[in-house]
Amino acid sequence: MSSTLDVLTREECFRYLGTVPVGRLAVATLENGPLVVPVNFVLDGEVVVFRSDPGTKMRLLRGNPVSFEVDFVDPFHRTGWSVLLRGFAYEATPWEVEHLPVDPWPDGERHHWVRLVPSEVSGRRLQHVMELTGDSRGYL
């Protein structure tokens, strides 16, 4: 058995994104390197939407590039996938998000709705491939 690391298409990336409820938002800080925080989210087409309290991440994402990463790892089978979005995020208006079922996991109001619009989408999938061998006549 061998492993392959496949590049995902944009469509596959968004299909995988839709299978998990939590991703990691990365915003840049000048003082301490990137700030990476988990957020629960939903997809609105190809836009990531999450809710937040005011604070560091809300301040840092305004007008700055951000990254958003989601993955799945199966350590037993040594397989998995990873999707990375790079783009910009902004505080959404109510009409942009009122139709979305975003229910933050932590307690609190989370009055700020954020839309992350990707300018770059990339993904990889690690999977095992069965190698079938046989004789020249096609028998196994």
CATH of the domain at 108: 2.30.110.10
| 128, 79 contact by CB (below 8 A) | yes
CA distance 99 to 75: 37
- Closest to 14 (Cα-Cα) out of 49, 50, 45: 45
Whether 135 is in a domain gets the answer: no
pLDDT at position 92 is 87
How much is the pLDDT for 133? Answer: 58
Q: How many domains does the chain have?
A: 1
DSSP one-letter string for 19-79: T-SEEEEEE--TTTS-EEEEEE-EEETTEEEEEE-SSHHHHHHBTSEEEEEEEEEETTTTE
Instruction: Place 139 in a pLDDT band, splitting at 50, 70 and 90.
Output: low
Residue 139 lies in a domain: no
- Assign 63 a pLDDT band (cuts: 50, 70, 90): confident
Q: Is residue 59 part of a domain?
A: yes
Confidence of residue 73 (pLDDT cuts 50, 70, 90): very high
- Which of 27, 86, 31, 85 lies closest to 56 in space, CA to CA? 27
**Which residue range(s) make up the domain with 63?**
2-129
Q: What is the pLDDT of residues 80-105, one digit of tens each?
A: 999 999 999 998 887 787 777 766 66
- Whether 9 is in a domain gets the answer yes
Average pLDDT, the chain: 85
Question: Residue 16: which pLDDT band, with cuts at 50, 70 and 90?
Answer: very high
Residue 91 lies in a domain: yes
On whether residue 80 sits in a domain, the answer given is: yes
pLDDT score of 120: 97
Q: Is residue 95 part of a domain?
A: yes
Q: Of the ranges 35-39, 58-62, 117-121, which one carries the lowest mean pLDDT score?
A: 58-62
Can you tell me the distance from the alpha carbon of 129 to that of 123, in angstroms, rounded to the nearest whole number? 19
Is 107 domain-assigned?
yes
Give residue 106's pLDDT.
Answer: 59
